[in-house]
Structure 1
Amino acid sequence: MIQLCIVEDNSKLRERYGQLLEFYDDIRLIAIFPDAETAVEFIRSADENEHPDVFLMDIELPGMSGIEATQLIKAMNQDIDIMMLTIFDDQDNIFDSINSGASGYLLKDEEADDMIAAVRELHQGGAPISKAIARKVLNCVRNAEIPDGSDDIIDLSDREVELLDGLVNGESYKTLSDKMFISPHTVKTHIKNIYKKLHVHSRASAVRLAIQKKLI
């Protein structure tokens, strides 16, 4: 069961998402927040076992932006997967979302089934993006700056190198767990350690650094 939270300031969209998710037995909607501050406070105050697996995060919100909220939430719990759900397809928003730790980016005009499929893909370790902005996302990854601390000696184990290679090749957590005969939870734990060693907060930054530093 995928535990899901949504941050959306549009009341009609909040109602639509709530009604939509009633039809899916494998996704449980924990909460829908009207603003980023409430979502961040929920993560800060709740026990970690009460945290969602996935956030759908609007970007343009009253007060704190979805990008700022993503950065704060990922700092509190790296295991939460966040997908930006927005009307914006400009490269600056995409770049900032990736750098903040978001793992997916969908436009709000996606079909309902495509959005649900993206939630499932994200939970399995994928990085779903709308086809309309795929090229822009690729440009963001190519042009991303190497993060601070990247000049440090990076000591990765053989298993971590294998997992990092899988990330570069776009493999999901499920694919990696099947290939390496380990559980998806173990895959997540290893990848969390890889991010710490690389001083990054997202798959895109890890992939960029791995390629530039020739770690694989």
Structure 2
Amino acid sequence: MTREPTPITLLLVDDHPVVRGGLRGMFATSPDFVVLAEATGGREAVALAERLDPDVVLMDLRMPEGNGVEAITDLTRRRLRCRVLVLTTYDTDSDVIPAIEAGATGYILKDAPPDELFEAVRAVAENRTVLAPPVAARLVARLRTPPEPAAPEDLPALSARERDVLALVAKGTTNREIARKLFISEATVKTHLTHLYTKLRVNDRASAVATAYERGILC
């Protein structure tokens, strides 16, 4: 007797109800997938992923209730079993690089046809990397072409300790872990982050890392 394959379980993360509804309806047409739940932001997604243990999390990036990169970083830090497939409209370096660095297994765009999306989910569930052609082209171009150095007057004047903190943030390290690695207090870590945000003219960790890559501070 042939055993039916186990469906791939999914968590949909997007702040737009129409997008979530469309995805749920799309996956409902195939017995290969089961949508366990939906989340409207990154923080809710992490909580649901920890509770429901999905095979794949379909993650948007720019959301008001916790952005995707922060959520991917948190999922990676918690060492959850689920794989993350980024599904977004953005393919800029400042979106792609931080998401991949944070631990996303795949990255495709929302204009992908259903069959392509289904195959991407299957691949990510098997821990195979999937990149939309524009995203793959950007990554290849980035590897082949070193970033142009910014003019000296444009470079933020980061201290050595701020650079240490920034490098650890780029690896998805938490404030507590940074404090332990650098032998400083968490309050001092937060102070360094505040100074970093001011100097790089950003508001969060993901933007700080993206800006640092763009300006050649991180490589």
The residue aligned with 1:27 is 33
State the identity %: 26
Aligned residues: 142
Query: How far does the alpha carbon of each residue in 1:158-211 deviate from its partner, in whole angstroms, 9 at most, with x for none?
Result: xxxxxxxxxxxxxxxxxxxxxxxxxxxxxxxxxxxxxxxxxxxxxxxxxxxxxx
Q: CA separation in 1, counterparts of 2:34 and 2:97?
A: 30
Q: Aligned AA for 2:12? A: I
When residues 91 and 78 of structure 1 are mapped into structure 2, their CA distance, relative to the original with a 3 A threshold, is same
Post-superposition CA distance 1:75-124 (Å, at most 9, x none): 11343110111111101211100110001000111111111110001112
Indicate if the aligned counterparts of 1:2 and 1:27 stay in contact, CA closer than 8 A.
yes
* Separation of aligned partners in 1, 2:47 and 2:127: 25
- With the length of structure 1 as denominator, give the TM-score of the two structures: 0.61
Residue in structure 1 matching 2:78, options 76, 89, 97: 76
- Contact 1:2/1:53 (CA < 8 Å) preserved in 2? yes
The structure-2 alpha-carbon separation of the partners of 1:109 and 1:2, relative to structure 1 and needing over 3 Å to count, comes to same
Question: Alpha carbons of 1:109 and 1:79: their partners in 2 closer, same or farther (altered >3 Å)?
Answer: same
Gaps of 5+ in 1: 149-216
List aligned pairs for 1:50-199, cutoff 5 A: 50-139=52-141
CA distance in 2, matches of 1:43, 1:51: 5
Distance of 2:80 and 2:141 partners within structure 1 = 25
Retained in 2: the 8 A contact 1:95–1:140?
A: no
Provide runs of 4+ in structure 1 moved above 6 Å. Answer: none
Instruction: For residues 28-62 of structure 1, give each alpha carbon's deviation from its aligned partner in whole angstroms, at most 9, with x where no partner exists.
Output: 11111111111112234x2xxx3001000000001
Query: RMSD across aligned C-alpha pairs, in angstroms?
Result: 2.1
What TM-score does the superposition give when structure 2 sets the normalisation length?
Answer: 0.60
Larger Rg: 2
- 1:197 maps to which residue? none
Deviation of 1:63 after TM superposition, in Å, equals: 3.0
- For the structure 1 residues 130 and 30, does the alpha-carbon distance in structure 2 shift closer, same or farther, using more than 3 Å as the test? same
